[in-house]
Amino acid sequence: MGRIAKWGTQLGSFDVRYRPRSSVKGQVLADFVAKFFLKNEKEMVCHVENRPLKVFVDDASSAVGANARIVIVTLEGIRLEHSFRLRFRASNNEAEYKALLAGLRAIMGIGARDVEVYLDSRLVVNQVQGSFEAQDSRMKAYLQVVKQIMNKFCTTKVAQVARAQNRHADSLATLASLMTEEVSRLIKVKLIEEPSIDVAIGVGAAGVEIAVIFATEPCWMDSIIDFLAKDGIPYDEKEANRVRRVAAWYWLSTDRKLYRRSFRGPYLLCLRPKKISELLAKLHDGVCGSHVKGRSLAHRAMTQGFWWPQMQKDAAEYVRKYEQCQKHVPLIHQPASHLNPVSNPWLFAQWGLDILCPFPWVTRNRRFVLVAVDYFTK
């Protein structure tokens, strides 16, 4: 007997009958149409509240580079945090414009039509609003790009806020302490290789545009990557045979990153020569560095998921050239060469006797001399 039949038998004595729940989707739709349908004008009216998305933008520029950070607050109250690292030199105002462009493009990717942007830069806000005029050529180019993107939205509002009110976008490192635990969080980090504008250097003069091209130096990985990606081999027969032989030890991902296969552990990311010194510096004398020696340093690099040829040699050379390790290294008292043992016994422990002769006759017929030598040291 089924469960429904058992319920019906037990509820029958109380004059209670079981009825399955009917579908309510169609009835809800019919009630919605009847509520907002006007019979005279034959129009359906639905009042929807227009709530824009809020974006908080901030930047940080230094000699090393510039960072742009944005925080998007959705209609549901979820905060989407984005961090952009600029791999080109930029001033503070250029970094502010780049952060503003990143925020507008992120909102456009979400599909929002109404947006409110909050910055702590008075210059950028007044230039966008039209109160200030941009004099620099790069500022004019950035302002033109910002207005082109803003025209794609239905409504756009750019306002200035105090730095204290914009502190949650000032540093993503302190967001954990500034936000409550029940707020859903999503942090996204993106690298920006080139600026969004292309401005000629020396406007009004020659008008020559400069394009920056990032090219990687050739290294041992290129031949293996070409072979795994498109079956390309070098022209040299010996080199081609070597590539075919060692290619089985590597795996190429979809983003053309080369990994070293491992039997017992995860695949190891292969590094280019210019990245090796940076990795060794972080592992050896970084924040969590313990100034280990060459063999331990190479093993630590492998446990972190990295690999390159001659790891032991490169790690040993880095430790040998590091100045602080040379200053604080333990002193070695062992001599460079073997020493001869020197005995230091007690007096007359070993002595020798010798007879010198002949000498002229002297008194009492003495003609010989007895010489005794004490071997105090060797």
Domains of the chain in sequence order: 53-192 (3.30.420.10), 221-327 (1.10.340.70), 341-378 (no CATH)
- Percent of the chain scoring above 90 in pLDDT: 9
Q: What is the pLDDT of residue 260?
A: 92
Condensed to tens digits (0 to 9), the pLDDT of residues 155-213 reads 888 888 776 655 555 554 344 333 444 444 455 555 566 666 665 544 443 444 444 44
* Mean pLDDT of the region 305-325: 89
Q: What is the pLDDT of residue 184?
A: 46
Q: What is the pLDDT of residue 288?
A: 75
Tokens 């590597």, residue located: 250
Residue 246: closest CA among 264, 233, 230: 233
Is the pLDDT reported for residue 293 higher than 60? yes
Tell me the C-alpha distance between 327 and 378, whole Å: 39
Q: What is the pLDDT of residue 41?
A: 55
Tell me the C-alpha distance between 247 and 225, whole Å: 9
Q: What is the pLDDT of residue 259?
A: 93
Tell me the C-alpha distance between 162 and 164, whole Å: 5
Q: What is the pLDDT of residue 174?
A: 40
Sorting pLDDT into bands at 50, 70 and 90, what band is 249?
very high
Q: Are 324 and 341 in contact (CB under 8 A)?
A: no
Is the pLDDT reported for residue 350 higher than 70? yes
Give me the sign of the Cα torsion angle 191, 80, 121, 130: positive
Is the pLDDT reported for residue 320 higher than 90? no
Sheet with 53-61, edge to edge strand ranges = 155-160, 114-119, 53-61, 66-73, 79-86, 185-192
* Mean pLDDT of the region 222-229: 90
CA atoms in the 13 A half-sphere facing the CB of 50: 7
Tell me the C-alpha distance between 258 and 69, whole Å: 31
Q: Are 102 and 84 in contact (CB under 8 A)?
A: yes
Sheet with 258-260, edge to edge strand ranges = 250-252, 258-260, 268-270, 306-307
Q: Are 178 and 168 in contact (CB under 8 A)?
A: yes
What is the pLDDT of the chain when averaged over all its residues?
A: 76
* Mean pLDDT of the region 314-334: 83
Tokens 């005279």, residue located: 40
* Mean pLDDT of the region 222-234: 88
Q: What is the pLDDT of residue 64?
A: 56
Sorting pLDDT into bands at 50, 70 and 90, what band is 307?
very high
Q: What is the pLDDT of residue 167?
A: 59
Ranges 11-20, 93-102, 166-175: which has the least confidence: 166-175
* Selected residue with higher pLDDT from 89 and 259: 259
Residue 66: closest CA among 193, 160, 175, 198: 193
Give the tokens for residue 248: 């089985």
Is the pLDDT reported for residue 104 higher than 80? yes
Q: What is the pLDDT of residue 176?
A: 34
Ranges 77-91, 179-193, 233-247: which has the least confidence: 179-193
* Selected residue with higher pLDDT from 97 and 11: 97
Ranges 68-82, 105-119, 158-172, 226-240: which has the least confidence: 158-172
Sorting pLDDT into bands at 50, 70 and 90, what band is 373?
confident
* Mean pLDDT of the region 120-126: 83
Give the tokens for residue 64: 């090393």
Is the pLDDT reported for residue 56 higher than 50? yes
SS3 for the chain, per residue?
CCHHHHHHHHHHCCCCCCCCCCCCHHHHHHHHHHHCEECCCCEECCCCCCCCEEEEEEEEECCCCEEEEEEEECCCCCEEEEEEEECCCCCHHHHHHHHHHHHHHHHHHHCCCEEEEEECCHHHHHHHHCCCCCCCHHHHHHHHHHHHHHCCCCEEEEEECCCCCCHHHHCHHHHHHHCCCCCCEEEEEEEECCCCCCCCCCCCCCCCCCCCCCCCCCCCHHHHHHHHHHCCCCCCHHHHHHHHHHHHHEEECCCCCEEECCCCCCCEEECCHHHHHHHHHHHHHCCCCCCCCHHHHHHHHHHCCEECCCHHHHHHHHHHHCHHHHHCCCCCCCCCCCCCCCCCCCCCCCEEEEEECCCCCCHHHCCCEEEEEECCCC
Q: Are 200 and 209 in contact (CB under 8 A)?
A: yes
Q: What is the pLDDT of residue 177?
A: 35
